[in-house]
Amino acid sequence: MTLFERDHSFFERAGEHDTLLVLFNYLDQPLEARSHRRFMDGLACNRLFLHSGRNDWFQNGIPGIADSFDELIDFCRTLPERLGASRVLYLGHSMGAFGALGCGLGAGAERILASVPEIDLLRPGSVSATRLVSEDLRFSSVRPLLEANGHIPVHVVAGRNWSADMEAVRSIETQPNVTVSLLDCKHETFPYLRDQDRLAPMIRAFVEGEDVGAVLDGL
């Protein structure tokens, strides 16, 4: 089976585009689901959907592609040549945001959109503290990558009504190249944005290189 056919990695070519959007699965997402796909109609980008198959925060990579988070980063470094992309963007929500940050920063993304990311796994009150399933925690933090980031724009979206997410945001909001949008919700930022009719416009702004924060103003 090829990269384009695996259950855990599904490539969708939307046209002759040089932009690739890499999306990571969120918590409890069914294997057959494609992350946020229905909010991408008409976007001028191809899409690569990555699914770890369980709530392990990508500690065991992606079946058929990589056996660890570090190997997953190495795989992502090959995407521009493998899929003919000059722009590679990374997007994820909750657990998927950890994958988007780690792989996007490690592989050299053009920009990253991370919704309610955990920066250090297993922090008290965090989702991973109660939901992470992995026998071996080998990649527990994206903080070193954020601190070393010299040029990749990272936009973080978080709900101001969830203390663990706010703690994570406050710990990185002064890092170079990090911008933050706070919403009037808890951890469920993407469902909240969907209900406010802002999820599709936000993703479009992100893909088209526009100001994501401007789309979310007033929320």
Alpha helices in the chain, H assignment, sequence order: 69-77, 79-83, 95-107, 127-131, 143-148, 163-170, 189-195, 199-207, 212-216
Long-range contacts, 143-150 (Cβ 8 Å, 24+): 143/119, 143/171, 143/172, 145/101, 145/102, 145/105, 145/106, 146/101, 146/105, 146/119, 146/172, 146/175, 146/178, 147/175, 148/105, 149/105, 149/175, 149/176, 149/177, 150/176, 150/177
Q: Could you give the domains of the chain? A: 9-216 (3.40.50.1820)
| 109 token code pair | 């993304």
Residue 92, strand partner residues: 114
Contact assessment for residue 91 and residue 189, using Cβ atoms and an 8 Å cutoff: no
Report yes or no on whether pTM surpasses 0.85.
yes
Would you state the pLDDT for residue 5?
A: 53
Nearest to 6 by CA among 54, 58, 64: 64
Residue 89, strand partner residues: 21, 111
Would you state the pLDDT for residue 162?
A: 96
Nearest to 117 by CA among 67, 66, 172: 172
Would you state the pLDDT for residue 2?
A: 45
| 213 token code pair | 């924060």
Would you state the pLDDT for residue 74?
A: 98
Q: Is the dihedral of CA 207, 208, 214, 217 positive or negative?
A: negative
Would you state the pLDDT for residue 1?
A: 34
d(CA 98, CA 121): 9
Q: Spell out the per-residue pLDDT of the chain, length 219, in tens.
A: 345 557 899 999 999 999 999 999 999 998 888 888 889 989 999 999 999 999 999 999 999 999 999 999 999 999 999 999 999 999 999 999 999 999 999 999 999 999 999 999 999 999 999 999 887 899 999 999 999 999 999 999 999 999 999 999 999 999 999 999 999 999 999 999 999 999 999 999 999 999 999 999 999
Q: How far is CA 168 from CA 22, 38, 54, 102, 112, in A?
A: 23, 29, 23, 15, 16
Directed axis angle between helix 95-107 and helix 69-77, to 10°?
50
d(CA 50, CA 22): 7
108: left (phi over 0), alpha (psi -120 to 50) or beta: left
Would you state the pLDDT for residue 3?
A: 54
